[in-house]
Structure 1
Amino acid sequence: MTFRRFVALGDSFTEGVGDPDPSLPNGVRGWADRVAAVLGERADGFGYVNLAIRGRKLRQVLAEQLEPALALEPDLVTIYAGGNDIMRPSVDLDALVAAYDDAIGRLTATGSRVVVFTAFDPAGFPIFAAGRGRFAIYNELVRESAERHGATLVDFWRMRDYRDQRMWADDRLHMSTPGHQRMAIAVLDALEVEHDLRPLPLPELASVSARERLAANRTWVLTHAGPWVKRRLTGTSSGDTLSPRWPAYER
């Protein structure tokens, strides 16, 4: 199938955080840009919009991005939201995904091809492992919604490549450049679009002593975890001062 109007909705996952490129808006590239580059080679007059902004919770994504996306009349939409919600122990997953389900239904009702994602499996990630049950429940609800509306599902939960720490950026929260490349491949494969993308080579794993590991963890807490907790306590977001990277069709 040839797609001519691609709109991407979501949070940091879709904005491209973890895949730095100072030459691009917000200083990142990401899997959606990589998918758009492939699709643009296959269709004359191809247009791409990316409305995703880091830090957005699911209801913010829907409130800010859904209506603009519908107005753009895309024939391909990707949407991933909820990752910033399910990390909070008090989240009402049923109510959360009910709102998500309604949005997915509105998107598929237009005739657009809609791609949705499960959340990754946090097994082996100490900072998220305690919430693995919430991730699993969210994922099952998303799978049901995808089936109900005929959306295409990219099952991030089952992608075991991401058990490798090199698929994650230094902040341990976002995919690295190889991680974004791998996700672009998964999306194109799910769409059954021919492409020549291949996994990027991973850096060699260095042998790390217990003392070096402790020092690295301390640096991570100061550099990434601490600021993240502070934002949560103060009700601020890393995306508060940012705008969508590609707000109008880019050709």
Structure 2
Amino acid sequence: MKFLALGDSFTEGVGDTSMVRPNRVRGWADRVAEVLCTQGDWQYANLAIRGKKIGQVINQQLDAGLALRPDLVTIYAGGNDILRPSADLDALMRGYDGMVRRFIEAGSTVVLFTGFDTVDSPLFNKTRPRTAIYNEKIREIADNHGAIVADYWRWREFSDLRYWAGDRLHMNEFGHTLMAYKVLELLGKHNIADPQWGEQINLPGLPELPVNSRGERLRQDMGWAREHLGPWVKRRLTGTSSGDTLSARYPDYVKLS
């Protein structure tokens, strides 16, 4: 059996640092693959690269993914488009529909992700209406083609700040671990993996939430702006991406342990 992961930073694994993995990240897809490869006869490829938008995933990952003839495909792209108010989500999601259709016609089982609900995020809550539109399109595509939906929007556990990295945009190792557990649980429900395999994911205890003074929170916000917001704005202004110099982490099938 062959598992292929497509998409952007969410699937590449940004926020879950590992100095011994390609691009120095691990992520939920690796963690799922480790269980599949260890417990069953699976192989794993991951073409996701941070910063990619829907059009780039279609143009750069679709044909390469089809050539790998996967049995199971996970796809998430759209977060970088949602952050751009000028992006035409209706047009982009028509391309997304075509991508899913081609994998389904090739005989793959496809898992799609809804976007995360940013209702509790002071920074990103203004993107919530666009995310809701994106999610409805995802559910419509899944209904039309028989794809499986991993409903990130409804997984409220991820609203806990302890699941998020310092950039406030990506999950940390705790978040990626929980996501791997949720995905394996979903695969078990659909008889793609053994329902017991999710127990192989060791969910670590979360650290206690710090109680910070107003001054400390202000210092943290200023540090975040310097370290993360400033470089992001610069990339937007210069038309560059954090993934421009990176390659797919696992362009061919491997077995992870």
TM-score by length of 2: 0.94
Which residue in the other structure is 2:249 paired with? 245
For residues 227 and 30 of structure 2, the distance between their equivalents in structure 1, rounded to whole angstroms, comes to 27
1:199 CA displacement: 2.6
2:173 is aligned with 1:177 = yes
CA deviation map 1:28-55 (0-9, x unaligned): 00000000011112333x3110000000
For residues 122 and 85 of structure 2, the distance between their equivalents in structure 1, rounded to whole angstroms, comes to 15
CA deviation map 1:87-127 (0-9, x unaligned): 11112111111110110011111111111100000011111
State the secondary structure of the residue aligned to 1:41: helix
Which residue in the other structure is 1:64 paired with? 60
The one-letter amino acid of 2:233's match is: V
User: Which of 217, 229, 243 is equivalent to 1:225?
Assistant: 229
For residues 135 and 203 of structure 2, the distance between their equivalents in structure 1, rounded to whole angstroms, comes to 25
Provide structure 1 residue ranges, at least 5 long, that are not aligned to the other structure.
none
State the secondary structure of the residue aligned to 1:191: helix
User: Which of 8, 21, 35 is equivalent to 1:24?
Assistant: 21
For residues 200 and 99 of structure 1, the distance between their equivalents in structure 2, rounded to whole angstroms, comes to 38
For residues 47 and 191 of structure 1, the distance between their equivalents in structure 2, rounded to whole angstroms, comes to 16
State the secondary structure of the residue aligned to 2:110: strand
Contact preservation (8 Å) 1:55, 1:239: yes
State the secondary structure of the residue aligned to 2:80: helix
Query: Where does 1:92-131 land on structure 2 (aligned, <5 Å)?
Result: 92-131=88-127
The one-letter amino acid of 1:180's match is: H
The one-letter amino acid of 2:232's match is: W
Which residue in the other structure is 1:85 paired with? 81
* % same residue: 57
For residues 200 and 119 of structure 1, the distance between their equivalents in structure 2, rounded to whole angstroms, comes to 24
User: Which of 181, 185, 188 is equivalent to 1:189?
Assistant: 185
User: Which of 126, 129, 149 is equivalent to 1:133?
Assistant: 129
1:200 CA displacement: 2.2
The one-letter amino acid of 1:229's match is: V
Contact preservation (8 Å) 1:9, 1:80: yes
Provide structure 2 residue ranges, at least 5 long, that are not aligned to the other structure.
none
Aligned structure 1 segments of 4 or more residues deviating by more than 4 angstroms: none
User: Which of 37, 52, 59 is equivalent to 1:40?
Assistant: 37
For residues 201 and 15 of structure 1, the distance between their equivalents in structure 2, rounded to whole angstroms, comes to 24
CA deviation map 1:55-74 (0-9, x unaligned): 00111011000001100111
